[in-house]
Amino acid sequence: MRADRLLSLLLLLQTRGRMTAQDLADELEVSVRTVYRDVESLGAAGVPVYADRGPSGGYQLLDGYRTRLTGLTSDEAGTLFLAGMPGPAAELGLGSVLAAAQLKLRASLPGELADRADRVRERFHLDAPGWFRGDEPTPHLSAVADAVWSGRRLEVRYRRWKAPREVTRTLHPLGVVLKAGRWYLVAATGTRTTAYRVSNILEAELLDELASRPAEFDLAAFWREWTERYERSVYTAMATVRMTSEALTRMAYVFPPEMSRVARAEAGPPGEDGWLVTRVPIESVRHGHIELLKLGASAEVLDPPELRACFAETARGLAATYLPESSAST
């Protein structure tokens, strides 16, 4: 709407000082000609905006002029919780709304507080995803977000890990969660509430029926309980491992957090040789084999026998590959 654009232009000049017509056009995503017309409209409405000509010129407000027209719309107020996360806000389709909300909030602050807010923004940046993880395609994230915001049911075709791999569900959306760069939809179906990885949604259709939302539902509390329960359910077995103290320390850097945490909690005292015995949670023999190989010769699997046999076979294969024939046969 043109009224919103005029207000945004006014707030830009108020918060940033002198700006060229091209800078304003870039910020407002309009043409320079539109900026000229909008500036004329502000002047006609009594706003003291004037132009400085020349290479370093631009538009600016008369010194000391401030507008009080900084009220946030309900949509803009609702996006302030995403402040500092422009990437996720844009993925949810809220990038421009968040930008407008931040601009209005910045314009409403007195000079000293506004300068302090600018310093914080310039010196703090949140980068949520983990290292070496590319963007995960989430083509249906906007539909998921629409369902959450509007409180409407969502029908999805979803790919899961067990058979049948593809299922269709009618969900009551309760919230979205961004964890380590991955989006999850928390939703209820029947009497069950769980989390769905948004990248695994193959199709999504927003329905007209309203979703049911329990009055006492707390998204943050649910997510904390769900993640703890999920991590416990993933590790279905324990491996007894003899390892060096240095290997136990190294686990914090190369193992999943739960495996490292339990290994530290279960560790016995080191002997004179610096080796100790601990227990490590594993998902399966194959998973334990892959993970514990990270410790190389600094660890020895004692139990279960199937996992120890896997390491013995791996050791024989490595010896055949890397040692001379005469050494491998001795």
Kindly report, residue by residue over 296-321, the tens digit of the pLDDT: 999 999 999 999 999 999 999 999 99
pLDDT of amino acid 136? 78
**Global pTM value:** 0.58
Give 129: exposed, middle or buried? Use CB within 10 Å, 0-12, 13-18, 19+.
middle
Query: Confidence class of residue 79 from pLDDT cuts 50, 70 and 90?
Result: very low
Query: What b/e string do you get for 184-198 counting C-beta neighbours within 10 Å, with b at 16 or more?
Result: bbbbbeeeebebbbb
pLDDT of amino acid 149? 85
pLDDT of amino acid 183? 87
- Indicate if the pLDDT at residue 72 is higher than 90: no
Both tokens of residue 60? 């600016």
Mean pLDDT across the chain: 82
Q: Whose CA is closest to 49, among 10, 87, 92?
A: 10
Tell me the average pLDDT across 221-241.
90
Q: Give φ, ψ of 131 to 5 degrees.
A: -65, 150
Most confident of 114-123, 145-154, 290-299: 290-299
Q: How far apart are CA 107 and CA 11, in angstroms?
A: 6
Q: Specify the DSSP element, H or E, that contains 292.
A: helix 285-292
Q: Which residue has the higher pLDDT, 105 or 150?
A: 150
Q: How far apart are CA 250 and CA 244, in angstroms?
A: 10
**Taking the CA of residue 15 as centre, how many other CA atoms within 13 Å lie in the half-sphere pointing to its CB?**
24
